[in-house]
Amino acid sequence: MPVSSTTLANHLLQQQTLHRGLTHELSQIIGHIALTGKVIGRELTEAALHGALGLTGETNVQGEAVQKLDERANELFVQTFEGQGGVVRAIVSEEMDKPCEVGGHAGARPGEHALFLDPLDGSSNLDANMTVGSIFSIHRVQGHVQPDVETELLKRGRDQVAAGYVLYGPATVLVYTCGAGVYQFTLDRGIGEFVLSGSRLKMPARGKVYSANESNYAKWPRGVQRFVDYLRDKDAATGRPYASRYSGCLVADVHRFLTGGGVYLYPGEISKPEGKLRLMYEAAPLGFIIEQAGGLASTGTERIGDILPTAVHQRIPLIIGSHEDVGKAEEFIQDRQ
């Protein structure tokens, strides 16, 4: 027996009557993201059969090698929203240097939202058939579009109207929040629908697992090193040492902690204090989800949601997960020993 028979479409209709923030337009956008996620999930399962794995030979605006499927996932999102006649006004994506303005149908009211995307997070996992995901963040944009669209799109994480991700693992899972709890859906391939598999998710205040690329240990500031040393120390009273799990896919690691508690960190390095991850389409949306589930997202000194971006592709150090674990990391990082 399925645990639920509520599809994403039905859930969004129900929620629109309960939560004013979930407008019809926002529901439509989430629906189109879900549809694109289904298509990406399907293409991922067969990519190796069609020669669609591997690198394009290009580097993106971040200076990182682009996988063919990075490009394909981006194309699928852009095509979906261009085909929907301007339900979003602009798309910012890890795979596009500049924001893409989405034109509306002739005479149609311009969309009131901007969509921020990491179309395929963790794509270096693809060749090894490991988990990847798509991350999205949605902001309301009002007034006229300025010629310099980018400035208009620099919004704080706390002002997001919705955020979420699609995770392509053993199951394809969609998680979203629009500020009224975190909901999870699992793709039922038989009927082609996302079906509700978790409501108002809450994470434990403390976990037993941490996630970091420890090969960078020597490059980290002392406070980060001391925090990770603390997690590895033996202390039965506080459940240490924590176990270590690092998948190479941020959204997969954060999903683990959303369900079981724990802490993910990708800190800045002494010679690269801004870190690796992107604020507007990685840290901020996952921060919104995790805070809604009772956790925290921080740079170590500042709440992620409070940061006013200076560029759409800005990088930021990220520590995200259970409330007490992130709080402990902040203690170590802010203690100038």
Distance CA 158, CA 181 (A): 15
Strand pairing report for 162-168 and 172-177: antiparallel
Distance CA 75, CA 91 (A): 11
CB nearer ligand AHM, residue 166 or residue 250: 250
Strand pairing report for 182-188 and 193-198: antiparallel
Part in contact with Mg ion (CB under 5 A); list of ranges 23-31, 110-118, 186-194, 233-241: 110-118
Part in contact with Mg ion (CB under 5 A); list of ranges 26-34, 70-78, 116-124, 261-269: 116-124
Residue 95's binding partner among ligand AHM, Mg ion, none (Cβ under 5 to 8 angstroms by kind) is none
17-76 binders of Mg ion (CB under 5 A): none
Residues in the chain: 337
Residue 249's binding partner among ligand AHM, Mg ion, none (Cβ under 5 to 8 angstroms by kind) is ligand AHM
Under the binding rule (CB under 5 A), the answer on residue 95 touching Mg ion is: no
Residue 213's binding partner among ligand AHM, Mg ion, none (Cβ under 5 to 8 angstroms by kind) is ligand AHM
Tell me the three state secondary structure of residue 97: coil
Of 70, 71, 95, 121, the one binding Mg ion by CB under 5 A: 121
* Distance of closest approach, residue 216 Cβ to ligand AHM, in angstroms: 7
Dihedral sign computed on CA atoms, order 327, 329, 121, 5: negative
CB nearer ligand AHM, residue 26 or residue 304: 304
Residue 123's binding partner among ligand AHM, Mg ion, none (Cβ under 5 to 8 angstroms by kind) is ligand AHM
Tell me the three state secondary structure of residue 163: strand
Under the binding rule (CB under 5 A), the answer on residue 118 touching Mg ion is: yes
* Distance of closest approach, residue 53 Cβ to ligand AHM, in angstroms: 15
Helix (H) or strand (E) holding 34: helix 24-46
* Distance of closest approach, residue 211 Cβ to ligand AHM, in angstroms: 8
Binding-site ranges for ligand AHM (CB under 6 A): 64, 94, 118, 121-123, 213, 248-250, 276
Query: Residue 273: which of 312, 302, 306 has the closest Cα?
Result: 302
E-strand stretches of the chain:
55-59, 65-67, 90-93, 100-101, 113-121, 132-140, 162-168, 172-177, 182-188, 193-198, 209-211, 243-244, 263-266, 296-298, 318-321
Count of positions on this chain that bind Mg ion (CB under 5 A):
2
* Distance of closest approach, residue 228 Cβ to Mg ion, in angstroms: 22
* Distance of closest approach, residue 55 Cβ to ligand AHM, in angstroms: 12
